[in-house]
Amino acid sequence: MVSLAVLAAMVQATDTVSSIFAPVSTPAIKERDLSVLVLWLSAVVFVVVGGLIAYNVVRFRAPPGEPGTEPPQVYGSAQVEAAWTVVPLLIVMVLTLSTARVIYEVQEAAPPPNAVEVTVVGRQWWWEIRYPKLGVVTANELHVPVSDSVVRRPTWLTLESADVSHSFWIPRLAGKTDVIPNKTNRTWVEPFRPGTYLGQCAEYCGTQHAHMLLRVIVETPDQFARWVEHQRQPAAVDPAVEPGRRTFLSIACISCHTVAGTVATGRYGPDLTHLMARSTIGAGVAPNTRERLRAWIKDPDDLKHGALMPAMQLDDERLDQLVDYLLTLR
Ligand code: CUA
Do 21 and 85 lie in one domain? The reply is: yes
pLDDT value of residue 6: 52
CB distance 166 to ligand 1 below 6 Å: yes
Mean local confidence (pLDDT), 285-289: 94
Shortest-distance Cα residue to atom 1 of ligand 1: 166
Residue 15's pLDDT band, with cuts at 50, 70 and 90, is low
Judged by average pLDDT, the poorest of 65-69, 277-281, 307-311 is 65-69
- Of 72, 107, 142, the residue at which a domain comes to its end is 107
What residues contact residue 129 under an 8 Å CB cut-off, 6+ apart?
A: 118, 119, 120, 121, 137, 138, 139, 140, 141, 142
**Residue 207 Cα to ligand 1 middle (Å):** 9
Residue 12's pLDDT band, with cuts at 50, 70 and 90, is very low
Give the CATH number for residue 74. 1.10.287.90
Do 212 and 276 lie in one domain? The reply is: no
Do 203 and 280 lie in one domain? The reply is: no
Quick one: which atom of ligand 1 is closest to the CA of 204? 2
Is residue 142 pLDDT above 60, yes or no? yes
Q: What percent of the chain has pLDDT over 90?
A: 86
Residue 77's pLDDT band, with cuts at 50, 70 and 90, is confident
Do 83 and 182 lie in one domain? The reply is: no
CB distance 211 to ligand 1 below 6 Å: no
Quote the pTM value.
0.88
**Residue 208 Cα to ligand 1 middle (Å):** 7
Alpha-helix runs per DSSP H in 108-236? 221-232
CB distance 123 to ligand 1 below 6 Å: no
Is residue 4 pLDDT above 60, yes or no? no
Euclidean distance between CA atoms 103 and 81, whole angstroms: 33
Residue 16's pLDDT band, with cuts at 50, 70 and 90, is low
Quick one: which atom of ligand 1 is closest to the CA of 212? 1
**Residue 305 Cα to ligand 1 middle (Å):** 15
Mean local confidence (pLDDT), 52-73: 84
Nearest Cα residue to 174 out of 184, 185, 164, 183: 185
Do 139 and 160 lie in one domain? The reply is: yes
Alpha-helix runs per DSSP H in 108-151? none
Is residue 2 pLDDT above 60, yes or no? no
Do 165 and 102 lie in one domain? The reply is: no
Do 124 and 214 lie in one domain? The reply is: yes
Do 193 and 168 lie in one domain? The reply is: yes
Do 75 and 28 lie in one domain? The reply is: yes
Euclidean distance between CA atoms 227 and 235, whole angstroms: 14
Quick one: which atom of ligand 1 is closest to the CA of 205? 2
Its domain, for residue 126, covers 116-232
Is residue 67 pLDDT above 80, yes or no? no
Is residue 93 pLDDT above 70, yes or no? yes
- Of 232, 252, 281, the residue at which a domain comes to its end is 232
- Count of domains for the chain: 3
Mean local confidence (pLDDT), 293-315: 93
Judged by average pLDDT, the poorest of 59-73, 108-122, 143-157 is 59-73
Nearest Cα residue to 31 out of 196, 199, 189, 212: 189
Quick one: which atom of ligand 1 is closest to the CA of 202? 2
Do 130 and 220 lie in one domain? The reply is: yes
Do 84 and 134 lie in one domain? The reply is: no
Give the CATH number for residue 136. 2.60.40.420
Is residue 8 pLDDT above 60, yes or no? no
Do 198 and 218 lie in one domain? The reply is: yes
Quick one: which atom of ligand 1 is closest to the CA of 209? 2
Mean local confidence (pLDDT), 175-200: 96
Euclidean distance between CA atoms 104 and 235, whole angstroms: 43
Mean local confidence (pLDDT), 57-79: 83
**Residue 283 Cα to ligand 1 middle (Å):** 11
- Of 232, 249, 278, the residue at which a domain comes to its end is 232
Residues 199/195/109/165 CA torsion (nearest 10 deg) = -10
